[in-house]
Every structure is written in C-alpha cells, then in structure tokens.
Structure 1
Amino acid sequence: MQRMPVNPWDWSQSLGYHQAEIVSGAQRQLTVAGQTSVDATGAPQHADDMRAQITLALDNLEAVLTGAGMTLADVTRLGVYATDVDAALQNFDLMGMRFGPHGVKPPMTLLGVTRLALPGLMFEIEAVAQQ
C-alpha cells in the first residue's frame, strides 16, 4: 500500500494530520466502530478524566487493529467525537504519541457532541485502516 499526502496548506500537519491522502495498492480495508473508554465488559472507565479516557480509547482502537492483523500505521481516516473539545485538544498530544512513531498523519475530523452512547463517556474515536 502506498500513501501520498495531499496538503494544499501545511497548517494541519503541525496538528498531526493531513488534509487528505491518496491510498493506492491496498488489498484490505477495515472499518472500526467508535472506540471509547470501556473495559472488556463494556463498562465505562475513568469518569471525568479526559486524558485517561483518550488513552483507553486508543488502547481499544489498537486492540481492534491488532485483532485484524493491522497497526496504527495502517489507519487512513479518523473520526473523533468529544463532549468537551477544549479538554480533548489539551490532551491531543496522546494522539501524536501513538501515531507519530508510525510516521502517519491520517486525515481526521474532530466533532464536539453533547453526549456519547453511555453516560460518563467523553471521547470516542473511529477509524478506517487499509493494507
């Protein structure tokens, strides 16, 4: 699989994402449902702690990718939902810490929402990955 970033402007790269990517040569695509801060039984974790919720949501995303034989390096699109966008952005260094070592900056959208599916959840991340 080859990825070619498309960035008519370069401001988004300093925030950790490309405006777009052309992906060619991919054989498999994985669409990952929104991952949140829940344990293996689906019980919400880390109430009122955005940083811990982002960390566990990313752990859960990586677990799903691993189950499909993929890594964060294969992610080509992210959708991020937060009940407090400012708090999420204050902790977005976690995204860079996870994706940076893989050398990828998948296009993403961050949306503020009034609530997520389960009470207490503040952060959700969905992804598309390709190999």
Structure 2
Amino acid sequence: MEKRTINPWTWQNERSYAQAIEVTNAEGTLYVSGQTAINAEGISSTGNMKTQLIEAINNLEKVIIASGYECKNIVRLNIYTTSTEELFSCFDVFQNWVVKHNIKQASTVLEVKSLYETLKVELEVTVVK
C-alpha cells in the first residue's frame, strides 16, 4: 500500500489533518463505525469532553488493532461532537494521538445537536493496508 498526502497549503498542519490522501495498491480497507466513550459493558460515559475523547480514542484503537490494521494507516477521520468549543479546549489530546501514530488523514469536524445518550464526541475512520 502506498499513501500520498496532498496539501497545497501549510496551514492545515497545525490542525492535524491533510487536505487529501491518495491510496494506491491497498490490500484492504476497513470502515470503522463511529467510536464513542462507551465502556466494555455498553454503558455510555457521563464524563467531560476530555475524558470522553480519550475513551473514544482507546475504543477506536481496540477496533483497529482487533481487525489487524494499524492506526498509522488511518486515511479518513470524521469527528462528530455536541460542542466544538469543548472539543477544541482539549484538542491537544487528539493532536498528540495523531502525532504518536504518525497519522496523516483527511478529516471533517461536525458539530451535531446530539449523540447517543450522554455522549459528546464520536470518531469515525477509514483505515487501509
């Protein structure tokens, strides 16, 4: 698999995403459902945004690893949140995770009216290998 990042500008680099990712010669593609801060017993978190973001990232990693894929090969990541203001107040958590795994992904952040039960953030990805 080969990935190529397309960034005609540099300003998106500070925001931890790419304008486009081209993938060629992929062996497989994994489409991951939105991952949230729901624990192993299926109980939704009532924690703050930072706590929920950390748990959603951990759940996302579990699904990716269990599927035999790697986080570094995430090529698309959509973030749904009930509050962009709250999300961006702890966005360093997300950015540090992206750097840790050397992820280069196209992204969209959407503020939505609500998510399931008490959830504040949901991460939806596409991963290749």
Residue 85 of structure 1 aligns with an amino acid whose one-letter code is: T
Give ranges in structure 2 of 5+ residues lacking alignment.
Answer: none
Does 2:48 correspond to 1:25?
Answer: no
Secondary structure class of the residue paired with 1:40:
coil
1:120 paired residue number:
118
CA distance in 2, matches of 1:74, 1:29: 10
Does 2:21 correspond to 1:49?
Answer: no
Secondary structure class of the residue paired with 1:23:
strand
1:100 paired residue number:
99
Does 2:34 correspond to 1:8?
Answer: no
CA distance in 1, matches of 2:31, 2:102: 21
Q: Is the 8 A contact 1:65 1:72 kept in 2?
A: yes
Give ranges in structure 1 of 5+ residues lacking alignment.
Answer: none
CA distance in 1, matches of 2:72, 2:22: 15
Residue 17 of structure 2 aligns with an amino acid whose one-letter code is: Y
Structure 1 vs Structure 2: percent identity of aligned residues? 31
Secondary structure class of the residue paired with 2:40:
coil
Q: How far is the alpha carbon of 1:41 from its aligned partner?
A: 2.0
CA distance in 1, matches of 2:93, 2:54: 7
Q: Is the 8 A contact 2:72 2:104 kept in 1?
A: no
Does 2:107 correspond to 1:111?
Answer: no
**Residues 16-59 of structure 1: CA deviation (Å, up to 9, x unaligned):** 000001111111100000000000122112x2400000000000
CA distance in 1, matches of 2:35, 2:126: 12
TM-score, normalised on structure 2?
0.95
Q: How far is the alpha carbon of 1:104 from its aligned partner?
A: 2.0
Secondary structure class of the residue paired with 1:94:
helix
Deviating beyond 3 angstroms after TM superposition, the runs of 4 or more aligned structure 1 residues are none
**Residues 57-104 of structure 1: CA deviation (Å, up to 9, x unaligned):** 000000000111112101110110000111101111111221212222
2:128 paired residue number:
130
